[in-house]
């Protein structure tokens, strides 16, 4: 497995792009709530309760964004057995960073057309597959790219992404992706199969403010199920500022003695362009 000693550089700037990555083996936040801000993007972390038996954190995340709010590329991961698989995925994305960021700034039709094949090439690279075979454990991985009034997502496993918007909420729509079980990257690896199993898609955002929300499953699988649905999460996040909402979510799962760790990425996007409406509207 390649060395990861220089992987975690924290937050930095590269040609005006804000960059941050973290894995729970760095700092586990067990019994501790942390809310951090990277320009207009918020990151919430809670490592679980030690009294419930938690002693480690195998979540991870990556945030790249344009401070002028033209795009965001975010990744959230939930590993198990060890955090090594999440570390390996972060390292592979860092290897592909130059190509990914160059692709993102292309015209949107080209960027969205080529992003999936670029990631598939990274995850099917033979050296990466060989490194995955050597790690202990595997990780779910959710990647979300927002550019202009569109969101593109790529999901392996059971991490969750949502959009909170008044028009969608009235129709009971919150989720971007659907959770899939028995999909991972790592020691057990969907990309080792003849046909890799993953899901991806593109969504148009609605006019005005859209709140984009990514989370690992500690939030929704908490004892007493305080946030077992998008509607329950929306009841907090739609009526509070982002950091206050994240604090309330994480404090609630802490108070309900959740063992599993929870990592959340959230930000607002204000869409001013015209969007799709029914012909008889």
pLDDT at 280: 87
- Answer yes or no: is pLDDT of 165 > 90: yes
Is 3.60.40.10 the CATH classification of the domain at 12-271? Answer: yes
- Answer yes or no: is pLDDT of 5 > 50: no
What distances in angstroms separate CA 178 from CA 113, 208, 227, 271, one per listed residue?
21, 25, 16, 24
Which one has a higher pLDDT value, 219 or 239? 219
Q: What is the DSSP string of 134-178?
A: HSSSEEEEEEEEEETTEEEEEEESS-EEEEE-HHHHHTT--BSS-
- Tokens 């898609």 -> residue: 201
Q: Which structure tokens are listed for 207? A: 């006019």
CA distance linking residue 188 with residue 190, whole number of Å: 7
Helices (H), the chain: 84-95, 97-104, 108-123, 126-134, 166-170, 230-237, 242-255
| Of 66, 67, 48, 65, residue with least CA distance to 57 | 48
Per-residue pLDDT tens for 171-227? 999 999 999 999 999 999 999 999 999 999 999 999 999 999 999 999 999 999 999
- Answer yes or no: is pLDDT of 76 > 80: yes
Per-residue pLDDT tens for 112-162? 999 999 999 999 999 999 999 999 999 999 999 999 999 999 999 999 999
- Answer yes or no: is pLDDT of 7 > 90: no
């Amino acid at each position: 497995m390649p060395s990861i000693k220089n992987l975690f550089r924290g937050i930095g700037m590269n040609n005006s792009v804000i960059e941050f990555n973290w894995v729970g083996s760095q700092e586990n936040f067990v019994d501790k709530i942390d809310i951090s801000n990277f320009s207009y993007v918020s990151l919430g972390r809670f490592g679980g309760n030690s009294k419930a038996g938690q002693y480690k954190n195998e979540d991870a995340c990556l945030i790249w964004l344009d401070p002028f709010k033209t795009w965001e590329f975010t990744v959230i991961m939930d590993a198990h057995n060890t955090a090594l698989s999440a570390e390996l995925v972060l390292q592979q994305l860092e290897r592909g960073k130059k190509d990914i960021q160059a692709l993102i700034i292309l015209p949107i039709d080209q960027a969205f057309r080529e992003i999936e094949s670029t990631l598939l090439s990274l995850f099917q690279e033979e050296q990466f597959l060989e490194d995955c075979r050597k790690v202990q454990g595997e990780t779910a991985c959710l990647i979300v790219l927002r550019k202009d009034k569109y969101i593109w997502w790529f999901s392996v496993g059971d991490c969750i992404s949502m959009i909170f918007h008044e028009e969608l909420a009235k129709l009971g729509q919150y989720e971007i992706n659907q959770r899939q079980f028995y999909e991972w990257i790592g020691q057990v690896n969907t990309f080792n199969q003849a046909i890799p199993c993953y899901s991806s898609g593109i969504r148009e955002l609605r006019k005005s403010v859209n709140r984009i929300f990514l989370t690992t499953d500690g939030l929704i699988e908490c004892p007493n199920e305080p946030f077992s649905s998008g509607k329950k999460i929306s009841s907090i996040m739609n009526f509070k500022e982002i950091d206050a909402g994240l604090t309330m979510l994480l404090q609630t799962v802490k108070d309900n003695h959740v063992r599993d760790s929870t990592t959340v990425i959230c930000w607002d996007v204000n869409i001013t362009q015209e969007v799709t409406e029914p012909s008889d509207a």
